[in-house]
Structure 1
Amino acid sequence: MSSTAHPVRPIGTGSIGTDPVRIGVVTVSDRASQGVYEDKGGPAIIATLTRLIVSPWVAESRVIPDDRDGIAATLAGLADETGCGLIVTTGGTGPAPRDVTPEATEQVCDKMMPGFGELMRKVSLQVVPTAILSRQTAGIRGSCLIVNLPGKPSAIDDCLMAVFPAIPYCLDLIGAGRIDTDPAVCRSFRPGS
């Protein structure tokens, strides 16, 4: 378990000077959690978020095995105890028997947000025909948005860049912390802005 603070860059408005938003970054992988290979998914998420977000935020990173109950407990803990307003997962979204991240996400969410998965698959299909095998989804638990991404680092960036324009406003609507993006990288949408 680790936390990494990301300082605010000199761009953006709104949340300068406020407490940083906590963002859960969860890699779901049996082999990465056992140290068989290096986790590249979590760092890919953090790299993309670092490019996107100009307001203060802290990454709460976890690398866990493909275990439905363990995934559900990690997501619930990050939302309820750690206070994450956003959790981004990578891995476990395919059709293999151990791929259970979407099921664990549904288990802990109050509302599902299927549009996230639909857009991510649409974007991924422009790159690889096997994107139809991916079961990315998103949901809301209290005042936390949970977004499941695929495991491949390049797909992580493509998918996160596709859905992120809607994420800051979603966080506003559910009462999570405010996130401001660098408009040169991602123009997030807020009505009236």
Structure 2
Amino acid sequence: MEKIKIGILTVSDRASQGIYEDLSGQEIRKVIDQYTNNRCDFVYLIIPDEEALILEKLINLSDVEHCSLIFTTGGTGPAFRDVTPEATEKACQKMLPGFGELMRTESLKQVPTAILSRQTAGIRNQTLIVNLPGKPSAIEPCLKAIFPAIPYCVDLLEGPFMICNPETIQIFRPK
């Protein structure tokens, strides 16, 4: 079974300063560990809401670390310092807006303010980059909604073959 390298990039001024613990990044790892049977090698970073730094880290995780997947958390709202989607768009050659659309649809079942979220996803070379919300309780519902398409997307990018746990997530690969 192939190993998969996954970047987790938490974008938060306060978490990067140690003001509070990064629960969202930890939640991403926990959910991915439940979903996949592959051995995962996680590269985990916490940085402030600085567009140039986010862009630099996304490029490094893709081009130097060779992550097949990168999940960001935080910086997707309407506030002035929320710039994760802008950095993601600059890092990617192709955007996949369906990921953000589905995450917002799922989140709207919980809170009406989900419409303010600007999550997106895109492809940089052979890496799928997905912006997740910054709220820890929103991570699992959003991943549950989008993850069924992720292994096939990684296949199309010629990444490692992901084998998922059918007891925790049902993925889809066309025949």
Structure with the larger helix share: 2
Counterparts of 2:33 and 2:136, CA distance in 1: 15
1:84 and 2:67 equivalent?
yes
How far residue 55 of structure 1 moved from its aligned partner, in angstroms, is 1.2
How far residue 57 of structure 1 moved from its aligned partner, in angstroms, is 1.2
How far residue 174 of structure 1 moved from its aligned partner, in angstroms, is 1.0
Letter of the structure 2 residue corresponding to residue 94 of structure 1: G
Match for residue 174 of structure 1 among 152, 157, 161: 157
Unaligned runs of at least 5 residues, structure 1 = 1-15
1:39 and 2:39 equivalent?
no
Number of residues of Structure 1 aligned to a counterpart in Structure 2: 175
Q: Which residue of 1 aligns with 2:39?
A: 56
Compute the RMSD of aligned alpha carbons.
0.7
How far residue 56 of structure 1 moved from its aligned partner, in angstroms, is 1.4
1:92-124 deviation digits (Å, cap 9, x = unpaired): 000000000000000000000000000000000
| Segments of 4+ moved more than 4 angstroms | none
Counterparts of 2:38 and 2:21, CA distance in 1: 29
1:66 and 2:67 equivalent?
no
How far residue 67 of structure 1 moved from its aligned partner, in angstroms, is 0.3
How far residue 175 of structure 1 moved from its aligned partner, in angstroms, is 1.3
Counterparts of 1:180 and 1:153, CA distance in 2: 25
1:132 and 2:115 equivalent?
yes
How far residue 184 of structure 1 moved from its aligned partner, in angstroms, is 1.2
How far residue 191 of structure 1 moved from its aligned partner, in angstroms, is 1.1
Q: Which residue of 2 aligns with 1:24?
A: 7
Letter of the structure 1 residue corresponding to residue 119 of structure 2: Q
TM-score by length of 2: 0.98
Q: Which residue of 2 aligns with 1:111?
A: 94
How far residue 179 of structure 1 moved from its aligned partner, in angstroms, is 1.4
How far residue 62 of structure 1 moved from its aligned partner, in angstroms, is 0.3
1:57-86 deviation digits (Å, cap 9, x = unpaired): 111100000000000000000000001000
TM-score by length of 1: 0.89
Match for residue 146 of structure 1 among 123, 126, 129: 129
Letter of the structure 2 residue corresponding to residue 65 of structure 1: P
Unaligned runs of at least 5 residues, structure 2 = none
Counterparts of 2:93 and 2:18, CA distance in 1: 33
Matched-pair identity in %: 56
Letter of the structure 2 residue corresponding to residue 124 of structure 1: S
